[in-house]
Amino acid sequence: MSDQNKPKIDLKARLGRKTVGSTGPSIPPPMATGSSIPAPPFQSRPPQAAPSEAPRPTYVQPQAIKIEMSEEIVEAQKKGRSKVMMIAAGTAVVGMILGYVFGDGAARRTAQNNALVGAEELAKEIDAANAEIEKLSKLLGDAKRDLSDGKFPEEAVRGLGDVQIPFDGTHLVGKGTQLMSVDVNRTLIDFAGNSQSANDQKERLARILGNQKKALEDLFAQKEKPKFNWSVYVTNGPHGPIASMQPLPAPFFVTSKETMKDKDGKDVPFAWPEEIEVPDGDKKLKLKRYTKGDAVSEDPQFLPVDPDSQSLVCPVDTMILLRKEVVALETLLAGDLSDPTNEKPGLTDMGKKLIDELKSIGH
């Protein structure tokens, strides 16, 4: 069949489409290239946008919500808040009370522990003090025995310089004594004060013994070889003769069996002096020794005083002072119980009592 005789096919009718505005051929859809997504048919492909950062989320400010409450609700809230405040205040007070109770209890326990530790420390310190008190008592006894035997207590004087009671009021600080009994506190205070008094007293005694060593040795020597130390001289008084006491400027032996030094320093048989010189204001007065006749004369005469009678009437000042100091120290150490209404316990007894009482604390 020739081309002219072939039947013509109407494509428009077959496709069911009509051309608009032109009879030209339709625009075929673009071919897909690569990995591009094909555009819908009959639409032009828009230009591809440049890559950009991802958009950040926008924060939206929350809006305040206003709630309208009635007066009854507001009033109820006020009452509720007051109740809460009262409960809170009550809880705080209870907490304070509990804190005080438990805190005060802890403080008391701490103070009690301190008192127990303090009692142990005080017992040790008083024990050391008692050892020195015992030494001092022995030294005092040795000194008294030597003095009674007419001998200077050389060793006791050296010992007095070494002994020292190591206890005073500072030892009571921080030892919890406020929790101890009144009796223990009183005894501790007395013990501390008397310990220091005993230390002062033994130093004074040692000083007197050291300063009066020569006078004491001369006095003790006179027990074997007595000397005249005093004299009297007689003068006319308003109602008759009177005697005046006069210490001899140079004591001399009672017996003539002794020897003496002459002006050249040689030993010669002793003889009583014929006259002596005694101070008379800013001058020297010569007194002849009375031998016989009238004791009262124009020139005063002296008579030596018997040493035995002198010691009875006029004790030696050195011995008086020494005896006084010895008794004072002895009273501090041993006490004085002679007066039942005013007994004074000594350091020895106080120290022993304190040791027993301190060790019993907490047991």
To which residue do tokens 């808040």 refer?
81
Same domain, 191 and 290: no
Give domain status of residue 13, yes or no.
no
Give domain status of residue 341, yes or no.
yes
Same domain, 119 and 208: yes
Give domain status of residue 177, yes or no.
yes
Give domain status of residue 354, yes or no.
yes
Same domain, 124 and 207: yes
> Which amino acid, 315?
P
> Which amino acid, 252?
F
pLDDT at 197: 96
Give domain status of residue 83, yes or no.
no
Same domain, 271 and 337: no
Same domain, 181 and 238: no
Q: Is 0.75 topped by the overall pTM?
A: no
- Give the torsion sign (CA, 226, 229, 235, 239): negative
What gap in Å lies between CA 350 and CA 167, rounded to an integer?
A: 13
pLDDT at 114: 76
Q: Kindly report, residue by residue over 220-240, the tens digit of the pLDDT.
A: 888 778 888 888 888 888 888
Same domain, 329 and 194: yes
Residues of the chain with pLDDT under 50: 1-2, 11, 15, 17-27, 32-37, 39-44, 59-60, 62, 64-70, 72-74, 76, 80, 83-84, 87-102
What gap in Å lies between CA 81 and CA 204, rounded to an integer?
A: 81
- Give the torsion sign (CA, 74, 80, 82, 85): negative
pLDDT at 100: 42
Same domain, 123 and 187: yes
Same domain, 202 and 330: yes
Same domain, 291 and 259: yes
- Give the torsion sign (CA, 341, 346, 347, 353): negative
On whether the CB atoms of residues 84 and 76 are closer than 8 A, the answer is: no
Give domain status of residue 274, yes or no.
yes
Give domain status of residue 18, yes or no.
no
List the domain range (segments joined by +) for residue 344.
107-217+324-360
Q: Is 297 helix (H, G, I), strand (E, B) or coil?
A: coil
| Of 329, 335, 323, residue with least CA distance to 160 | 329
Same domain, 130 and 206: yes
Same domain, 120 and 244: no
> Which amino acid, 167?
F
List of residues 6+ apart from 121 with CB closer than 8 A: 175
Q: Structurally, how many domains does the chain consist of? A: 2
- Going by DSSP bridges, is the β-strand pair 301-304/283-289 parallel, antiparallel, or unpaired? parallel
On whether the CB atoms of residues 160 and 349 are closer than 8 A, the answer is: no
Same domain, 197 and 344: yes
Q: Is 302 helix (H, G, I), strand (E, B) or coil?
A: strand
pLDDT at 91: 42
Give domain status of residue 34, yes or no.
no
